[in-house]
Amino acid sequence: MNENNVNQTISLTKNLDCEKSVDQLLDQLVKPKNHQETDDFYSIWASNYEKDIKEMDYNGGQIAAKYFLQMNFNKNDKILDIGAGTGIIGEILNKNGYHNLDALDNNDEMLKILKEKNCYQNIIKSIVTPDRKLPINDQQYDVIIMAGIFCPGHIDYRSLEQIIRITKSGGFICWSMGNPKIYADRDQLYSDDNFDRYISLLCDKMKWLSVLGYPIIVENYIKNLSGLFYAMQVV
């Protein structure tokens, strides 16, 4: 992290009046960045993250947890929350009897807050990129859960092949995200239905199957914008 930023914190909503649009918030948060820029961003945002997302009405973590619970996974299943941030998903899953839960994120400051909640067994600090092997053996997890990480400047969705690698055969990969179409103008990765094509490509390669009825359209993912909850089963 840039030394000038070490003691800096930001609040994304501090100077916002209610009239300002979600677009302006998304402009700061959801735009193509390199990994260092993303990490620096979360380092200075971490202490205000939970307060700010309430004001921004970002509900990706709660939505992912809610639909995860509807899937009635076994309480003993080994679960990994990727891009776990401050651990919002872990808190909800713990309260609902899921304790065999690990967290992975690349940002130390976010993970510091997550650790204090004592919701996760193992905490893995790692970057997720398509070209770097995750520090996790093959077929370790029954369920992967994620929220708010497939968008510009965050985890490149082409890392999903690796995420499949660490999931057991027959296991599930579930996540909430904004509608990929809203990112099309912001990032080439999301233009021309590239995201949908990649999900389908992994089906064609028999890496996973879409669980019947998913993705589900979810209301109020951020502000009044709907999002999606995906559930895929690894072959």
CA distance 63 to 113: 20
Tell me how far, at minimum, the Cβ of 83 lies from ligand SAM, in Å. 3
CA distance 9 to 206: 45
Tokens representing 119 are: 């919701």
Q: Which stretch binds ligand SAM (CB under 6 A): 16-24, 144-152, 179-187, 193-201?
A: 144-152
For CA atoms 73, 79, 84, 87, the dihedral sign is positive
- The residue behind tokens 């620096």 is 40
- Which 84-143 residues touch ligand SAM, going by CB under 6 A? 84-85, 88, 105-107, 110, 127-129
Tell me how far, at minimum, the Cβ of 215 lies from ligand SAM, in Å. 17
- The residue behind tokens 């239905």 is 193
Which of 110, 164 has the CB closer to ligand SAM?
110
- Return the amino acid letter for 174: C
**Is the separation of the CB atoms in 184 and 190 below 8 Å?**
yes
Contacts with ligand SAM by CB under 6 A: the residue count is: 21
- The residue behind tokens 């649009």 is 21
Which of 129, 210 has the CB closer to ligand SAM?
129
Query: Does 154 engage in binding with ligand SAM (CB under 6 A)?
Result: yes
Q: Which stretch binds ligand SAM (CB under 6 A): 134-142, 146-154, 160-168, 187-195?
A: 146-154
Instruction: Report the Cα–Cα distance between both ends of the chain, in Å, rounded.
Output: 39
Which of 128, 189 has the CB closer to ligand SAM?
128
Query: Does 61 engage in binding with ligand SAM (CB under 6 A)?
Result: yes
Residues 6 or more apart in contact with residue 127 via CB below 8 angstroms: 35, 106
Which of 54, 209 has the CB closer to ligand SAM?
54
Nearest to 229 by CA among 95, 70, 48: 70
Give the residue closest to ligand SAM by C-beta: 85
Which of 106, 167 has the CB closer to ligand SAM?
106
CA distance 197 to 193: 6
Tell me how far, at minimum, the Cβ of 42 lies from ligand SAM, in Å. 4
Question: Which residues in this chain contact ligand SAM in the complex, by CB under 6 A?
Answer: 35, 38, 42, 60-61, 83-85, 88, 105-107, 110, 127-129, 147-149, 154-155
